[in-house]
Amino acid sequence: MKLRTLVWRELFQRKSQMLTSFLAILLGITTVVAIKNITFYSEKAVARELDTLGANVLVLPKSASLQDYYSADMHDEVIPEEYVLRLTMSNVQGVDNLSPKLCVPVNLQGKNYALTGILPKSEFQAKAAWAGAGIFSRPIGCGAIDVATEPKPEDKRTLVRKRVIETLDTHETLVGADAAASLGLEEGDSLTLLGESFSVVAVLPQTGTVDDSRIFAHLHTVQRLSGKEGVVNCIEIVGCCKEISAGLVDNVNKLLPDAKVVTVKQVVATQAKVNGMMERLSLIFLVIIVVVGGAGIANYMYANVFERRREIGTLMALGAESFMVLRIFLLKALLLGLAGGVGGYAIGTLLAVTLGPKLAGVPVLPMPLLALWAVLISAGITLAASYFPARRAARLDPCATFQEV
């Protein structure tokens, strides 16, 4: 009789216990796959939201506060622009991109506005010390928008979303939506700032943030016109939330002891809390698979060996070697594991795709990589749980089994 036939018959000798063990593995893998799938796309969705919110870590002067930052009222408080170089040259992990800013007050048509100097991406690339520092490459597992990709025509219009633009000439400005509406400015218009003429290259879309009332120009132009060369009011950092929760703020504080480093705690804490909860849930269910599924498989195998020891002894008396008996039971376990892994991945993915938008509010797509992990975990558990029962079967003495009544 062929090995395949023996394994197939062995598999269905105790159908009720086999089905119970299979369901334990199947349900465990299904749960882990569904949670991992939803968590992955939930993290990407939160990262996209963080992109729209902008900076989540701020480097400010010691005497400045968050209120000063959001009201753009930091005109007299400055820190050295050299801090940007320190950050780019450091080994601090989790920094997505940097945006140094200098805000100075300007009066236009009888109203006060904040003229904000910013550095475009081209400025970072032009400086040898900053080039290749990885500041514009989002860390693995963080965000959804890759700001290191080729520039698109709408880049300047999406400044607030990406927090970085490709190029900005010395006498070009970007005007926030509220400021443009108040001043009656449109793309292509010109305005006078600090005694020099600037052209409006884009009116930024409405964002509901302080940027709506700001006017943006090149940082070094603003520094020159305001007499504040070599300094900035703040450095905005878009950081990876996993790294923030792991101590990014403390690392930047150590690097820049003369500055104040703060984070938008609500945003970071919310993502860290949700992601941590989902990670713990998946770990809990993985432990349940190992304990419940493994114990079920082991019990099923031990019972099968005990009840069929005379048949196993007969098979060995007819010439079957111990290794062949071991292979029969391990192959049976492997088939259970493969079936549980494939079935668990399929059902888990279906649940994630179906329930993900309802539970997490984000679209969820299948993740083929999870199929490999599901099969490996399932097969590994069943093989590990079946090894000792299979070894016991392989070591049975045919003579002893025939003497049993």
pLDDT by 10s per residue, the chain, length 405: 565 666 666 666 666 767 777 888 888 888 888 888 888 887 777 666 655 555 578 888 887 776 666 665 556 788 998 888 888 888 777 676 778 889 888 989 888 888 989 888 765 655 544 444 444 444 444 543 333 334 444 445 445 444 457 778 889 999 988 999 999 999 889 999 999 999 999 888 887 777 788 899 999 999 999 999 999 988 888 766 666 656 777 888 888 888 888 776 555 555 566 667 767 777 787 787 777 777 777 777 777 666 666 666 666 666 667 777 777 778 888 888 899 899 999 999 999 999 888 876 778 899 999 999 999 988 888 888 888 877 777 776 666 655 554
Domain that holds residue 78: 56-263
Both 95 and 130 in a single domain? yes
Element (H, E) at 264: none
The pLDDT of residue 242 is 62
The residue with tokens 């394994």 is 7
The pLDDT of residue 265 is 56
Both 141 and 195 in a single domain? yes
The pLDDT of residue 27 is 84
Q: Give the type of residue at 308.
A: R
Both 246 and 357 in a single domain? no
In the numeric block, which tokens belong to residue 365? 């797509």
3-state helix, strand, coil in the chain (%, to 5): 55, 15, 30
Both 237 and 98 in a single domain? yes
Both 244 and 277 in a single domain? no
Both 194 and 121 in a single domain? yes
Residue 358 within any structural domain of the chain: yes
User: Quick one: residue 245, left, alpha or beta (phi over 0 = left, psi -120 to 50 = alpha)?
Assistant: alpha
Both 18 and 162 in a single domain? no
DSSP secondary structure letters along 291-347: IIIHHHHHHHHHHHHHHTHHHHHHHHHTT--HHHHHHHHHHHHHHHHHHHHHHHHHH
Any idea how long the chain is?
Answer: 405
Residue 222 within any structural domain of the chain: yes
Boundary residue ending a domain (263, 284, 313):
263
Both 240 and 301 in a single domain? no
In the numeric block, which tokens belong to residue 186? 């449109």
Burial annotation 205-244 (CB, 10 A radius, 16+ → b, else e): eebeebbbbbbbbbbbbbbebbebeebbbbbbbbbbbbbb
The pLDDT of residue 336 is 84
What are the φ/ψ torsions at residue 165 (nearest 5 degrees)? -120, 160
Residue 280 within any structural domain of the chain: yes
Both 158 and 301 in a single domain? no
Tell me the sheet residues that pair with 238. 97
Q: Are 203 and 158 in contact (CB under 8 A)?
A: no
Q: Please give the C-alpha separations between residue 301 and each of 11, 14, 118, 330, in angstroms, as whole numbers.
A: 10, 10, 68, 10
Neighbours of 325 (CB within 10 A): 23
Q: Are 74 and 61 in contact (CB under 8 A)?
A: yes
Residue 153, burial from CB neighbour count under 10 angstroms (0-12, 13-18, 19+): exposed
Torsion of CA 192, 193, 196, 202, to 10 degrees: -70
Alpha-carbon torsion (262, 264, 269, 272), positive or negative: negative
In the numeric block, which tokens belong to residue 389? 């029962």
Q: Are 5 and 316 in contact (CB under 8 A)?
A: no
Both 124 and 91 in a single domain? yes
Domain count, the chain: 2
| Whole-structure pTM value | 0.51
Residue 131 within any structural domain of the chain: yes
Boundary residue ending a domain (214, 233, 263):
263
In the numeric block, which tokens belong to residue 44? 């990407």
Both 23 and 121 in a single domain? no
What is the rounded CA–CA span in Å between residue 123 and residue 133? Answer: 13
What is the rounded CA–CA span in Å between residue 347 and residue 23? Answer: 12
Boundary residue ending a domain (217, 232, 263):
263
Both 257 and 373 in a single domain? no
Residue 51 within any structural domain of the chain: no
